[in-house]
């Protein structure tokens, strides 16, 4: 089996960079948080609808789901502790059903044409070992910053590549270093579609105990992305097109390292400023933000939800002094956008 080169280096570099990024310490006001959620609801495009993704592809948003475009998608991620802008992200997909527990940012990475020949010979065990070694190095930097270390548990979905469709899927689980075996674990289910100029990533965020049932949904979302003619992987022209400096194996490990660092930092923000999540519950009616907190009863704060596997259920209880906002339903109407909503209930 051919050795996978550069994976440990990719993991270390990506994770150290993330470790040096500090999450903003200024929590958004209640009014600002509600404004973000209101804007998200207004901008959301109701499926079924075709959404152009720049000049690269079209996303066929399905019935029962919505697409939140920019800049509202960025503002939503900012509330979750991801500061700055994400120019590579045209938007995110959310389910309308309040009982469904996931969301999926959609990003295009103009990395160039990524050669996929190493997918034929890669060793998932070796990739995991390299990533664990990189995590140990990154934990030294996290310790300097006063952040807890992270531990890689393993693949919840080993890297799987379809050479015919040029689609890649993988998922990695992690948890805080030294945590008990039954402690909550982080998980992202990552799907990729390779193209001529780079790749789209569509990464489902959900709880680990729900991941297995949602894997088909994630792959259906991936299949709903269609590259435009001239932008497909098969349209590559070796005479004119840029070739990425890395292959699929390094892509998986490097991106995984980046995600682990981001999730840990986002958690630090959410634990301190969890009230922005309650504002989201008020506007979206508990559907999308079910991850972070159970829907509170009108006029009183609900008790903390039991910890479940997955980073989405590890948010601390907001201060009891803050009363919950009345819930709103996510009613997108027939036009594909959300009409202004009025609070109902007490």
Rounded distance, CA 231 to CA 110, Å? 12
Choose between 258 and 312: higher pLDDT. Answer: 258
In a domain, residue 334? The reply is: no
In a domain, residue 342? The reply is: no
Rounded average pLDDT over 313-333:
31
Collect all residues with Cβ–Cβ distance below 8 Å to 166 and sequence separation of at least 6. 116, 193, 194, 195, 233
Q: What is the CA radius of gyration of the chain?
A: 20
Asked if pLDDT for residue 162 goes beyond 90, the answer is yes
Q: What is the pLDDT of residue 53?
A: 96
Rounded distance, CA 300 to CA 290, Å? 17
Handedness of CA 132, 136, 141, 146 (dihedral sign): positive
Q: What is the pLDDT of residue 140?
A: 84
Q: What is the value of pTM for the model shown?
A: 0.66
Confidence of residue 275 (pLDDT cuts 50, 70, 90): very low
Rounded distance, CA 264 to CA 184, Å? 13
In a domain, residue 307? The reply is: no
Confidence of residue 213 (pLDDT cuts 50, 70, 90): confident
Confidence of residue 254 (pLDDT cuts 50, 70, 90): low
Rounded distance, CA 335 to CA 45, Å? 9
In a domain, residue 281? The reply is: no
**pLDDT tens-digit map of 302-315:** 322 222 223 232 22
In a domain, residue 310? The reply is: no
Rounded average pLDDT over 17-29:
42
Residue 242: both structure tokens together: 């840029």
In a domain, residue 258? The reply is: yes
Our count of domains for the chain comes to: 1
Handedness of CA 106, 109, 110, 115 (dihedral sign): negative
Cβ 54 vs Cβ 299: under 8 Å: no
Other beta carbons less than 10 A from residue 89's beta carbon:
18
**pLDDT tens-digit map of 289-305:** 443 333 333 333 332 22
Q: What is the pLDDT of residue 82?
A: 65
In a domain, residue 127? The reply is: yes
**pLDDT tens-digit map of 31-84:** 888 888 889 889 999 999 999 999 999 999 999 999 999 999 998 877 766 667
Confidence of residue 223 (pLDDT cuts 50, 70, 90): very high
Asked if pLDDT for residue 201 goes beyond 90, the answer is yes
Q: What is the pLDDT of residue 49?
A: 96
* Peptide linkage before 48 cis (omega within 30 of 0): yes
Choose between 124 and 266: higher pLDDT. Answer: 124
In a domain, residue 31? The reply is: yes
Domain housing 80: 7-268
Rounded average pLDDT over 96-122:
88
Cβ 207 vs Cβ 291: under 8 Å: yes
How do strand 104-109 and strand 150-162 relate by DSSP bridges?
A: unpaired
Asked if pLDDT for residue 3 goes beyond 90, the answer is no
Element (H, E) at 221: helix 208-223
């Amino acid at each position: 089996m051919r050795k996978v080169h550069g994976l440990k280096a990719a993991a270390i570099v990506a994770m150290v960079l993330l470790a040096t990024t500090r999450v903003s310490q200024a929590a958004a006001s209640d009014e600002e948080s509600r404004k973000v959620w209101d804007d998200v609801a207004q901008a959301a495009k109701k499926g079924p609808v075709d959404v152009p993704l720049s000049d690269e592809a079209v996303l066929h948003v399905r019935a029962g789901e919505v697409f939140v475009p920019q800049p509202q998608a960025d503002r939503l991620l900012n509330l979750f502790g991801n500061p700055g802008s994400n120019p590579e992200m045209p938007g995110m997909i959310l389910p309308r059903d309040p009982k469904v527990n996931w969301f999926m940012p959609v990003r295009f990475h103009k990395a160039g044409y990524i050669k996929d020949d190493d997918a034929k010979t890669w060793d998932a065990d070796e990739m995991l070992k390299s990533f664990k070694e990189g995590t140990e190095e990154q934990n030294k930097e996290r310790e300097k910053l006063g952040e807890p270390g992270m531990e890689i548990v393993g693949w919840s979905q080993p890297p799987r590549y379809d050479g015919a469709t040029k689609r890649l899927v993988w998922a990695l689980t992690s948890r805080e270093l030294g945590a008990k075996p039954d402690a909550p674990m982080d998980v992202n289910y990552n799907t990729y579609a390779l193209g001529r100029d780079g790749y789209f990533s569509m990464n489902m965020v959900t709880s680990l105990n729900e991941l297995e049932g949602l894997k088909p949904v994630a792959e259906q979302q991936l299949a709903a992305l269609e590259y435009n003619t001239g932008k497909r992987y098969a349209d590559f022209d070796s005479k004119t097109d840029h070739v990425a400096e890395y292959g699929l194996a390094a892509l998986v490990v490097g991106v995984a390292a980046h995600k682990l660092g981001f999730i840990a930092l986002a958690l630090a923000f959410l634990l301190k400023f969890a009230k922005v999540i309650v504002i989201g519950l008020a506007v979206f009616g508990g559907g999308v933000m079910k991850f972070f907190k159970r829907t509170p009863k009108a006029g009183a704060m609900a008790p903390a939800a039991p910890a479940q596997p997955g980073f989405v259920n590890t948010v601390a209880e907001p201060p009891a002094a803050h009363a919950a906002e009345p819930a709103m339903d996510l009613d997108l109407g027939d036009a594909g956008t959300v009409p202004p909503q009025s609070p109902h209930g007490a």
